[in-house]
């Protein structure tokens, strides 16, 4: 592409023209200019002169009827160089005059080609430029994605992903707030996944009702409850659970917090501190009621809320280990201000006991080392790895016993339970994520070599098999 641009330019003479004679089209491709980099360019031009002239063509008086009479030319390429000259108070600028590019699409194609050669475009400008040059070349030459990708010197896959992102930003402007292109593409992937799951969610209602009415207590749909967890568990029998492992919202205003600015995940729940503390308190009381005597519970929490959560769990009746379990994540951790703050590379979890039950796996450290779910594979903003949940399950329950998560999210606990031969109950209020959990666990059944559950335990119905639990 570099050779093609140069070939079109070197056949035209360079001349010096007044800055005031150049019209800047308002719909130019580059809209945002970094002031710091513009100042650097201006300094360079002042010291060394302009190495590459701007490109201009005659003013299109039909397209710009209100253009001042002093404007003989309109800018085709070189907006930053033009601004840099104005910044250092130069009155003239070297320009390549192109009287053969009166076609608007060709003018735009030259600007896009030149801009894509540069590394100082923002990712938003870059993907927008690729989308536009694809549209232009498809219209002018009949080019397909592969042709245009070859033209700009990229793989078909990389180019298409950027074009798709640009199209998505027009529909979902919040994608452009992501801090980089990778984060924006991950967020787009999650939005597309949610859209797919939302469509599938409507198909689950009839299946769920059928499963309950036929008393299929082993059905995935029956075990993954849709709705507000506090309302759902009211119909559950006292002492129906053998372990609770749950990860409630942390009450840290997830989408405005220091470590979550520009989160790649779409907003999925309210995370106001006061509301979440109330929810945690009520859920802790229900968890204590639902657990049998001599059982365990695990509550993940924000370390800044240590005293509040510790007091809540203790007040409802749990014996709480004051030194929490710590899940350590390898890597630098999440941080929005790396120049002034340490990265957050761990999460805390309270280990709670109702009665006195021995650990089935003994001699373990309270520091849990497990790789987090890769961002590209996540379906939920705070998804826990299955390996972490397996460790907790196998430490506190026997095969065939029932574990529960009141904030199921991606359904990781359900997968860990299936892998270890445990029964499970999950609550999730988001319809799309609920559909995703059902899809995930349904696919898993029959493909996992799980530990055999005792015959009696496999028939155990913690909900009593009542049709009143229809959601």
DSSP line for 194-206: HHHHHHHHHHHHH
> Which CATH class, in words, describes the domain spanning 1-121?
alpha beta
Report the distance separating Cα 280 and Cα 247, nearest Å: 10
DSSP characters over 80-133? HHHHHHHHTT-SEEEEEE-TT--SHHHHHHHHHHHHHT-S-S-HHHHHHHHHHH
pLDDT of residue 81: 82
Relative orientation angle of helices 79-87 and 35-48, to the nearest 10 degrees: 70
Q: Are 29 and 129 in contact (CB under 8 A)?
A: yes
pLDDT in tens, 99-156: 765 555 444 555 554 554 455 678 888 888 788 878 877 887 788 888 877 766 678 8
Domain boundaries, the chain: 1-121, 206-469
Residue 183 in this model has a pLDDT that exceeds 90: no
> pLDDT grade, residue 384 (50/70/90)?
very high
Higher pLDDT, 401 or 103: 401
Residue 160 has a pLDDT of 87
What is the chain's mean pLDDT, rounded?
Answer: 78
Mean pLDDT of 207-214: 49
Measured CA to CA, the distance from residue 29 to residue 33 in angstroms comes to: 11
Selection from 381, 331, 411, 345 nearest residue 187 by Cα: 381
Q: What is the pLDDT of residue 8?
A: 44
453 CA to centre of own chain: 37
Listed residue (375, 360, 377, 366) closest to 420, CA to CA: 360
Cβ–Cβ under 8 Å, residues 248 and 407: yes
Place of tokens 């400008």: 125
CB 174 within 8 A of CB 156: no
Percent of the chain with pLDDT over 70: 73
Query: CA-to-CA distance for 350 and 281, rounded, in angstroms?
Result: 14
Is the confidence at residue 288, as pLDDT, over 90? Answer: yes
Rounded-to-integer distance, Cα 55 and Cα 78, Å: 6
Give the integer Cα–Cα distance in Å for 137 and 377.
34
189 vs 337: CA distance, rounded Å = 26
**Confidence (pTM):** 0.60
459: confidence class by pLDDT, cuts 50, 70, 90: very low
Stretch (H or E) spanning 352 = strand 346-354
Confidence at residue 326, expressed as pLDDT on a 0 to 100 scale:
97
Instruction: Work out whether the CA dihedral 421, 436, 247, 404 comes out positive or negative.
Output: negative
In the predicted model, what is the mean pLDDT of residues 394-420? 95
* CA separation, residue 255 to residues 269, 354, 383 (Å): 10, 35, 16
Instruction: Supply the pLDDT for residue 267.
Output: 46
Q: Which of 154-163, 205-214, 336-345, 362-371 has the lowest mean pLDDT?
A: 205-214
CB 280 within 8 A of CB 307: no
Q: For 413-431, what is the mean pLDDT?
A: 94
What was the pLDDT predicted at 192?
A: 77
Pick the CATH number of 206-469 from 3.20.170.30, 3.20.20.540, 3.40.50.150, 3.30.465.10: 3.40.50.150
């Amino acid at each position: 592409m570099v050779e093609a641009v140069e070939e079109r330019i070197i056949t035209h003479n360079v001349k010096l023209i007044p800055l005031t004679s150049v019209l800047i089209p308002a719909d130019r491709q580059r809209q945002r200019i970094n002031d710091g980099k513009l100042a650097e360019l201006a300094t360079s031009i002042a010291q060394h002169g302009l190495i590459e002239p701007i490109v201009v063509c005659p003013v299109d008086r039909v397209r710009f009827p209100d253009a001042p009479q002093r404007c003989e030319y309109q800018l085709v390429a070189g907006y930053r160089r033009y601004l840099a000259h104005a910044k250092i108070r130069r009155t003239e600028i070297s320009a390549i005059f192109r009287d053969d590019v009166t076609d608007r699409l060709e003018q735009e194609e030259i600007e896009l080609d030149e801009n894509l050669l540069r590394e100082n475009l923002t990712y938003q400008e870059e993907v927008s430029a690729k989308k536009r040059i694809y549209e232009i070349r498809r219209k002018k030459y009949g080019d397909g994605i592969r042709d245009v990708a070859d033209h700009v010197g990229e793989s078909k896959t990389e180019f298409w992903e950027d074009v798709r992102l640009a199209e998505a930003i027009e529909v979902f402007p919040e994608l452009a707030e992501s801090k980089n292109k990778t984060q924006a593409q991950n967020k787009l992937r999650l939005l597309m996944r949610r859209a797919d799951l939302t469509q599938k969610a409507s198909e689950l209602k009839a299946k769920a009702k059928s499963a309950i009415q036929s008393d299929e207590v082993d059905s995935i749909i029956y075990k993954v409850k849709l709705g507000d967890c506090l309302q759902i568990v009211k119909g559950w029998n006292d002492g129906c659970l053998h372990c609770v492992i749950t990860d409630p919202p942390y009450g840290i205003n997830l989408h405005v917090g220091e470590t979550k600015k520009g989160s790649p995940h779409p907003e999925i729940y309210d995370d106001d501190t006061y509301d979440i503390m109330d929810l945690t308190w009520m859920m802790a009381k229900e968890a204590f009621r639902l657990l049998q005597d001599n059982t365990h519970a695990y509550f993940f929490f924000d370390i800044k809320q240590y005293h509040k959560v510790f007091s809540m769990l203790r007040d409802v009746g749990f014996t709480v280990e004051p030194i929490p379990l710590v899940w350590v994540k390898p890597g630098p951790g999440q941080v929005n201000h790396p120049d002034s703050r340490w990265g957050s590379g761990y999460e805390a979890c309270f280990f709670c006991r109702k009665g006195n039950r021995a650990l089935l796996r003994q001699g373990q450290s309270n520091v849990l080392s497990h790789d987090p779910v890769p961002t590209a594979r996540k379906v939920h903003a705070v998804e826990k790895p299955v390996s972490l949940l397996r460790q907790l399950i196998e430490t506190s329950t026997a095969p065939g016993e029932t574990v529960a998560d009141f904030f199921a999210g991606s359904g990781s606990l359900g997968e860990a339970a299936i892998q270890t031969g445990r029964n499970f109950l999950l609550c999730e209020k988001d319809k799309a994520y609920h559909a995703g959990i059902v899809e995930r666990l349904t696919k898993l059944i029959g493909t996992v070599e799980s530990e055999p559950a005792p015959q009696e335990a496999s028939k155990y119905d913690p909900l009593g098999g009542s049709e009143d639990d229809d959601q």
